[in-house]
Structure 1
Amino acid sequence: MDPRAQDVLLCDLCEADPLQSYCELCHINLCTHCVSKHLSDSSKKHNVVPYYLHRKFSPKHPKCLKHADKDCEIYCDKCGIPVCTTCIASGKHKGHNLSDVLENLSFKKQRLQKDLEELETKICPRYEAMSSDVQTEKAEIETNYGKLTNVADRQGEIWHCEITTIVNKRKSDIEESKNKHLVALEKHADEIAHRMTEIKQVILEMKKILDTNDISLASTYKSRNDEFKKMTPKFKVTLPSLSTPTINTEQLNEMFGSLSPLSDITAKPLLDVPRLTATIDTGNDLLLSIRCLGEEQIWTCGKNKIMKLLNLQGKLLTSIQTESGRRAQNIALTRNGDLLYTDTKSNTVNLVKNKQILTVITLQGWTPLDVCSTSADDLLVTMISGDEKQSKVVRYSGSTETQTIQFDDQGRPLYLSHGIKHISENRNLDVCVADNGGKAVVVVNQSGKLRFRYTGHPSDTKESFRPVGITTDSQSHILTSSWDNNYIHILDQDGRFLRYIQNCNLDHPLRLCLDIRDNLFVAELKTAKVKKIQYLSAQC
């Protein structure tokens, strides 16, 4: 072994005590006693580390890429590269912030050390926890879906049992009916047999008289032929029939029960204080309806016949004139982003595609109020009768009417016959209507069965709640605007009040819509401005 390896390394200052530390900026070995003396020199920067750390990595000056015989001892912050003294002398880095390359290395190592600690102690554990949560969720999914399968099996067993009971009852009824028929036929057969016995007896008596010349016997004969000609009424068996109506598969599916829609949307909590993030001046006299096209554009319509597409700075991008020359009652967008509008003059729902207007639905005796496009690309249209005595919601597939929603289970109207009625489909496929005349938000399920009515928060009077706009978000929240108090009510999908959106300088909010990031856009009727509001947290 090299004897020098046994030498004790000494402090560069006192040259007496063994070194314990090293200053990475001054390149000096230090003993424990000399560290404080070295750090007292405030004319220089210092970075004293334990010597074993220094030994782990002894920095080596990099060679200059432009001057191969030079070491880079300086770091140019602006250029982000180490440079040599010749590079500095060339003037190419004049005015740049320069520092010692080892000092820069030390700074970056400190930052790296801080990042490493944060990754190891905070970030990585969070990901590990999330990974653990995912595994737990997967296990719960297996368990819960297994439970759902068992529920379906049990439901099937119940149905099979019920069907078997019904079949056995029908078979019993059939057997009972058969026995009654057989008893009746036996009775009829007995009557015929009795009459036939009588006839045979009469025949024998008649032959006996014919075979004798006994006048007294012949004189007692009385004919019974007329009696026997009156035949016993023929017994005709009419067999019963078993009605077997056609099975309504859709109704059976509904009766069996259905699986709720898949929900994999990341939860976004409501903000404690909603934020007004933008105000857009549409330039209309009155603003009646809006719809978001993506994140940066909105369709608007006012009291004239022009529908305008604007960006969020209020700049006009394009405009469409209604075909009838009358203002659009309301506007909507298809899933492909094409514009829809209702026209009360022509009683039509129209589609604008490539700036061409196509009439999709023409009503007879009814006037369309609002329209929305569903997740299945159907159309839901609210409408009022020509005599203004009825209102309803009709679902269309293309131009074909597929469903009418008008009455509850007791035959009572779901919607009041007058007043505006804005409509939206919720993520759970509920049909939600803001019935202004009825002072309620009316929500029915996909089959048209009433789920609930929301008539305002209990702290409000019913007179103060007159919903005029409605929309639904990715969390299945229902948002509706109240005309009289300038509030936006937020409900959950079951009609429970969650909170208000207020204090956002709203002035007569009319229509509501959402962009793809759940930012709320509120159309103000009188100011003709659109307010953009963030009410959900962006954090998952």
Structure 2
Amino acid sequence: MEILTNSDDKQPDLVSVVINRNVNKDLSERNKCDLHGFLLDYCYECERKICQNCEKFHGGHMTVSLKDESDRIRTKLKEEVYKLKHLIRYSCIVTYDLQHYIDRMNASLANIMEEILKRSEYLQKDDVVIVDVMIKDIQFEHDQAEAILVDKISEFNEFVSSAKHFYVETERVINSSDDEIIIQQHQHILTSVLQQELALPLCLLERPIYILTPMPDINTGKDILPLEILGEFSKEFVPWRIEVKRINSFRPECIGARCVTTMCQGWDEQVWVVWQWGPLLHLLDKNGDIKKKVDLGCKVDGVCTVKDGLAISCHIDRCIKVLNDQCDVIKTFQLVRIPRGIYTNCTGEIIVCCVENMHRRKDDVSVIKKLDITSGQLTVLPCSEDLVQPCRVAVNVNDDICVSDRNKGSVMIFNQEGKIKSTYRGPGSSTRHLFAPESVRCDKYGQVLVVDYTNHTVHVLDPLGRFRGFLIMDTELEKRAIFMGTSSPFSITIDSAGDLWVGNKFGFLTVLKYLS
């Protein structure tokens, strides 16, 4: 494995160094000066551990506590390496999906073969040979399509095997190396982890649908050719679709407003919902029953969960309000720009999309900010050049920031420092209208779900921000369109059970069984 070798081929590999160096010393003793007994520092200019009492000339050098710095680096390395676990889990659900579709293809093939044999009973004896030729041709077409899926399964399985080995070996190096080696090698290890992440295979963009034309009416008295009786077989390719099942669809009777503008996860599989920008906030269960209703006294553009409560963005009042578990406002943070979509990262900070005007003007500058709700400190991420008019935001399992920007027609993924990692502009020619991203959410595998309002669908992206497929209800599977089964979707969230809630422009909510 690349990270286990030093750049000098004559030197032993990193594992050998870890095992043999100072073998008779306890790890804590290796960090102390043999002469003075003091904890050692690390000198970045000399690239080695030092004792300030032994070597006074390091006073002008950049030095740090050896233990503190190695602890910080180890934590960072473990966080980065742990991302591979999420990619392994994601790869497993992709291979399951591929195998599931192979089974579906085989079932469809069997049905078509059975139908052809039934139709063959209406043929003359001399025409039966046509049936054997047709069946062989169809089988050949099927085998070709199946081979593509099988090869993709193998590709993901190879990635999983490689990533598991890499994860175990890298974690062993991180845990067993002494502090000096960890500091010296950490950049090399981080580069190797990134290379492993980027090796994640692309998903198939299309999948085949088998079609056999209907049998004509043979009782009309007209002459019908044998091939017309058997029908014409075709294999059409459609964009890859990810099957979901409808659990329920509703709009509470007391709700007269149109458009579900924003939602977020509640508790006990319930969801907080805002219709028509509030000011009412509703807690609903999957039966469509309203369990709680809160009058926030202001228009609401975004809502998200925070520790022991909720946060809302008020675009008219230009503020973020924090609510406790009783939905009482306990803090209000005033902003200069208009806050739109909000979401909480792993450290409890609120990520905020900020724009100058609700409808963009020529010289407007949009930003993404982090709000520390304990101290009130606001941090602007250096990503304004990548933004036009950001409207919604989510944070994935790797703590990456996913931003939808409808004016730009893009979904962008940034790290927590604001460095862009990827940009998704739609799958290409498979949609009728231009990609118009609205709400965005991430699932437990790191997949990004993006509502595409104008194309009436939801895009699913892989953890690296690349197209994986469209969500589609099981009732729409045999159709060739990408329509997911609910029109004009506008907002989306995932409840505590992992089920998907989609709100549309007409005020209806659809609850879908997702990733069962």
TM-score under structure 1 normalisation? 0.50
**Structure index of larger Rg:** 1
Q: State the secondary structure of the residue aligned to 1:260.
A: helix
Structure 1: unaligned runs, 5 residues or longer: 1-142, 168-174, 176-240
Which of 490, 498, 509 in structure 2 is aligned with 1:530? Answer: 509
Residue 498 of structure 1 deviates from its aligned partner by 1.0
1:77-129 superposed Cα distances (whole Å, 9 cap, x missing partner): xxxxxxxxxxxxxxxxxxxxxxxxxxxxxxxxxxxxxxxxxxxxxxxxxxxxx
Which of 376, 380, 399 in structure 2 is aligned with 1:400? Answer: 376
Structure 1 residues 534 and 151 mapped into 2: Cα distance closer, same or farther (>3 Å)?
farther
Q: State the secondary structure of the residue aligned to 1:413.
A: helix
Structure 1 residues 309 and 161 mapped into 2: Cα distance closer, same or farther (>3 Å)?
closer
Q: State the secondary structure of the residue aligned to 1:308.
A: strand
Verify: 1:341 aligned to 2:312, yes or no: yes
Residue 345 of structure 1 deviates from its aligned partner by 2.4
Within 5 Å, which residues of 2 pair with 1:100-499?
150=14, 163-164=45-46, 253=73, 259-261=80-82, 263=85, 267-268=92-93, 269-270=96-97, 272-282=242-252, 283-286=255-258, 287-303=260-276, 304-322=278-296, 325-336=297-308, 338-353=309-324, 354-363=326-335, 365-385=336-356, 389-398=364-373, 399-401=375-377, 403-407=379-383, 413-416=385-388, 418=389, 421-460=391-430, 464-499=434-469
Distance in 2 (alpha carbons) for counterparts of 1:400 and 1:163: 38
Q: Any conservation in 2 of the 1:456–1:462 contact (CA below 8 Å)?
A: no
Structure 1 residues 151 and 253 mapped into 2: Cα distance closer, same or farther (>3 Å)?
farther
2:111 match: none
Structure 1 residues 505 and 260 mapped into 2: Cα distance closer, same or farther (>3 Å)?
same
Q: Any conservation in 1 of the 2:262–2:491 contact (CA below 8 Å)?
A: yes
Structure 1 residues 151 and 448 mapped into 2: Cα distance closer, same or farther (>3 Å)?
farther
Structure 1 residues 506 and 461 mapped into 2: Cα distance closer, same or farther (>3 Å)?
closer
Structure 2: unaligned runs, 5 residues or longer: 7-12, 22-41, 50-56, 101-241, 477-483
Q: State the secondary structure of the residue aligned to 1:443.
A: strand
Distance in 2 (alpha carbons) for counterparts of 1:152 and 1:477: 39
Q: Any conservation in 1 of the 2:431–2:455 contact (CA below 8 Å)?
A: no
Structure 1 residues 312 and 464 mapped into 2: Cα distance closer, same or farther (>3 Å)?
same
Residue 522 of structure 1 deviates from its aligned partner by 0.7
Instruction: Look up the equivalent residue of 1:517 and give its one-letter code.
Output: A
| Structure showing greater relative contact order (alpha-carbon pairs closer than 8 Å, 6 or more residues apart) | 2
Q: State the secondary structure of the residue aligned to 2:511.
A: strand
Which of 501, 510, 519 in structure 1 is aligned with 2:471? Answer: 501
Structure 1 residues 525 and 361 mapped into 2: Cα distance closer, same or farther (>3 Å)?
same
Q: State the secondary structure of the residue aligned to 1:296.
A: coil
Residue 332 of structure 1 deviates from its aligned partner by 1.4
Q: Any conservation in 1 of the 2:44–2:63 contact (CA below 8 Å)?
A: no
Q: Any conservation in 2 of the 1:308–1:317 contact (CA below 8 Å)?
A: yes
Distance in 2 (alpha carbons) for counterparts of 1:477 and 1:499: 11
Within 5 Å, which residues of 2 pair with 1:68-87?
none
* Alignment length (residue pairs): 309
Instruction: Look up the equivalent residue of 1:476 and give its one-letter code.
Output: G
Distance in 2 (alpha carbons) for counterparts of 1:490 and 1:332: 21
Residue 335 of structure 1 deviates from its aligned partner by 4.2
Residue 422 of structure 1 deviates from its aligned partner by 0.5
Distance in 1 (alpha carbons) for counterparts of 2:385 and 2:15: 35
Instruction: Look up the equivalent residue of 1:261 and give its one-letter code.
Output: Y
Q: Any conservation in 1 of the 2:286–2:511 contact (CA below 8 Å)?
A: no
1:255-284 superposed Cα distances (whole Å, 9 cap, x missing partner): x96633363796544575221221131424
1:174-215 superposed Cα distances (whole Å, 9 cap, x missing partner): x9xxxxxxxxxxxxxxxxxxxxxxxxxxxxxxxxxxxxxxxx
Q: Any conservation in 1 of the 2:245–2:514 contact (CA below 8 Å)?
A: yes
Deviates more, 1:446-455 or 1:326-335: 326-335
Distance in 2 (alpha carbons) for counterparts of 1:520 and 1:355: 24
Q: Any conservation in 2 of the 1:335–1:373 contact (CA below 8 Å)?
A: no
Structure 1 residues 280 and 374 mapped into 2: Cα distance closer, same or farther (>3 Å)?
farther
Structure 1 residues 454 and 422 mapped into 2: Cα distance closer, same or farther (>3 Å)?
same
Distance in 1 (alpha carbons) for counterparts of 2:313 and 2:44: 49
TM-score under structure 2 normalisation? 0.52
